[in-house]
Amino acid sequence: MPQMSRQDPLIENHTVDYVPLAERHGKARDLFTLWFSTNIAPLPIVTGAMVTQVFHLNLVWGLLAIALGHMLGGIVIALASAQGPRMGIPQMVQSRGQFGRYGALLIVFFAALIYIGFFISNIVLAGKSIVGIVPSVPVPASILIGALSATAIGVIGYRFIHTLNRIGTWVMGSALLAGFLYIFSHDLPADFLTRGGFNPAGWLATVSLGVIWQISFSPYTSDYSRYLPADIGITRPFVATYLGATLGTILSFSFGLVAALATPEGTEAMVAVKQATGWLGSILMVLFLLNIISHNALNLYGAVLSIITSIQTFASQWTPGIQVRVVLSSVVLAGCCVVALGASADFISQFIGLILALLLVLVPWASINLIDFYIIKRGAYDIASIFQADGGVYGRFNLHAIVAYFIGIIVQLPFANTSLYVGPWANLVEGADLSWLVGLVVTCPLYYCLATREHSRKMRTVKLGYTD
């Protein structure tokens, strides 16, 4: 790890502004450790257990579906992450170059809501984990401990988050591999290989779950790559992010599947992990708790950047620094703790249902983002315009992007299969939410057709470049 200098501080001093070339640091491999470590946590493990418990797949078909889903979805998160070094700004700020200065506010709002939702859910989960490890600690105190720890990491910012995940990659990766070794070195149930089977609905549902899982990270991936040197290119950040995100989630999902199959049918997922791993289970629970806290810092960090982006939209001359990030982090922390302390017993499942429903708005955004960056503008954005009060060459509203975005949402609704809304064609393949596929197939060509003519007109009148 390079030594820190005055231009490379421990506590991050940038928020939503452009990171100058002189302050760039790090290597592409930092993206591998970030996304690998982040995805070794209880939630993906519990979700992996669903592959046999809910979708009734056996080990072989389950592993194949898990791998395929995450490998497909990983393309989206990796392409989004690779934009960071080129742009030097957070992902949501970059959306102004596609939707216009004010047009981007809607997706920024949805992104902030998703971050806050996951932050609340994770501090409740962290609180319950602390109580499970140390029963003498009251639940409210446990929730506050988990929330304050995540907030401290989020306030320190970019560098500390990357440092923790470099450590976490070795620790969590080794712990999970040890868990696999423990399970397979002990007696397995007679139906370990035969429980479940193959059914098209369950297999497609598992593949879709993997795709959606990866897409859900795309609104903040370049937040963690924007400090990398601009000359690092596209390929290295793409490969590092892709391998980290896919390997981490495939490993966690597979561990949940294996633990569920290694215990009696019907055993709750995390109970199955503890039972299947024996004495190692208690150690895994402690490590999972630490990982929840570390991962939750990303949710707080993303929420604060989204809020700052929203405010800065109406104050173009305002360049917020460390103090603003600390104040907003404290406000978000306080509000989330109030909600978490009053949460009901089934709060997490209800809130996750809401958040997963909101993912409907991310698919058309991701489609527009990737088509615009890689095919239409080919990474050539005017950074100065993105921060101008009138939106510069991108204007206040880009109707082409906004129209494509809303159509992308609308076409998904008939196929949506969420806890809040079930469309009339949701069970076209029973149990599988295929709305994301419809969103991609419709939004990508639609936005390309709408935007190509407009971009050609602007290229004739404005010379695009980068502003340091």
Domain assignment present for 447: no
Judge whether 415 and 435 are in contact, CB under 8 Å.
yes
Q: What is the pLDDT of residue 157?
A: 65
Q: What is the pLDDT of residue 5?
A: 41
Q: What is the pLDDT of residue 164?
A: 80
Domain assignment present for 229: yes
How confident is the prediction along the chain (468 residues), in pLDDT tens digits per residue? 333 344 455 566 677 788 888 888 888 999 999 899 888 888 888 889 989 998 899 999 999 999 999 999 999 999 999 999 999 998 888 999 999 999 999 888 888 888 888 888 788 878 877 877 888 888 788 888 888 888 887 777 667 777 787 888 888 889 999 999 999 999 999 999 999 999 988 898 899 889 988 988 888 888 889 989 999 999 999 999 999 999 999 999 999 999 999 999 888 888 888 899 999 988 888 888 888 888 788 888 888 888 888 888 888 777 777 777 788 888 888 888 888 787 656 665 666 566 667 778 889 999 999 999 999 999 899 999 999 989 888 999 999 999 999 999 999 999 887 777 788 888 777 767 788 889 999 999 999 999 887 656 655 655 545 444
Which tens digit of pLDDT belongs to each residue from 446-458?
Answer: 999 998 876 566 5
In the block, residue with structure tokens 């993906």: 44
Domain assignment present for 124: yes
Domain assignment present for 433: no
- The domain containing residue 330 runs over which residues? 21-346
Q: Can you tell me the distance from the alpha carbon of 399 to that of 447, in angstroms, rounded to the nearest whole number?
A: 10
Q: What is the pLDDT of residue 7?
A: 46
Domain count, the chain: 1
Judge whether 97 and 376 are in contact, CB under 8 Å.
no
Domain assignment present for 318: yes
Burial label for 72, CB within 10 Å (0-12, 13-18, 19+), is middle
Task: Report the predicted TM-score, pTM, of the whole model to 2 decimal places.
Answer: 0.87
Instruction: Give the chain's end-to-end CA distance (angstroms, integer).
Output: 26
Domain assignment present for 287: yes
Which tens digit of pLDDT belongs to each residue from 80-122?
Answer: 999 999 999 988 889 999 999 999 998 888 888 888 888 887 8
b/e per residue 379-412 (b: at least 16 CB within 10 A)? eebbbebbbeeebbbbbebbebbbebbebbbebb
Q: What is the pLDDT of residue 467?
A: 45
CATH of the domain at 340: 1.10.4160.10
Domain assignment present for 467: no
Q: Can you tell me the distance from the alpha carbon of 248 to that of 181, in angstroms, rounded to the nearest whole number?
A: 17
Q: Can you tell me the distance from the alpha carbon of 54 to that of 202, in angstroms, rounded to the nearest whole number?
A: 8
Amino acid in position 300: L
Domain assignment present for 83: yes
